[in-house]
Amino acid sequence: MSSVPPGITCFTRRVLAACLDIDAVWSIDHAPAEPWTDAGPCRLLAFASRAVLKRLQACEDLHSAQVELLVVVDGDEFASAWGPLRLSGSLARWAWRQTALDEAFYDEARWAESGGHDGTVVRVRRKAFLVWQADGDTGA
């Protein structure tokens, strides 16, 4: 497994200190061949409960423009903990597939290169890396 970038490790520790009831945290939104780096804004996906989602939404000191945090509340349904784009959806609709202990792939709908001006949506294959798991710390 690739080592967890320091910025993601630090942020994940802050989230876990506020909400111990998180089962796992994944870094998402990577191109399949893209290396895992600490550059720029990141998207994290936490597996937890609806109560944890509500707690994270209320923890304004964690809210960051550099980190978009999605929380999976029932093993499938997810929602944004904060951010300008209040996303919600389903891992099943994303075709989430864990391919190794520390790696998963999914398909996300995005506007076509035209910016969606013509209404075209494409499915984009994305990669996820495990940052932390409750029964086996992976770096955070």
Q: Residue holding tokens 């996906």? A: 45
Q: Quick check: is 129 in a domain? A: yes
What's the number of domains the chain is made of? 1
Q: Quick check: is 18 in a domain? A: yes
Residue 1: pLDDT over 60: no
Q: Quick check: is 30 in a domain? A: yes
Question: Given CA atoms 96, 11, 101, 36 in this order, what sign does their dihedral have?
Answer: positive
Helix axes 50-58, 6-18, angle to 10 degrees: 100
> Domain with 69 in it: what CATH number?
3.30.460
Gyration radius of the chain's alpha carbons: 15
Query: Could you report the per-residue pLDDT of 54-97, keeping only the tens digit for each?
Result: 999 999 999 988 899 999 999 999 999 997 778 899 999 999 99
Q: In which band, very low, low, confident or very high, does the pLDDT at 51 lie, cut at 50, 70 and 90?
A: very high
Range of the domain at 92: 6-133
Residues 82/63, Cβ–Cβ less than 8 Å: yes
Q: How far apart are CA 89 and CA 62, in angstroms?
A: 22
Window from 44-53, 83-92, 98-107 with minimum mean pLDDT? 83-92
Q: Quick check: is 138 in a domain? A: no
Q: Quick check: is 1 in a domain? A: no
State the pTM of this model.
0.87
Q: Quick check: is 11 in a domain? A: yes
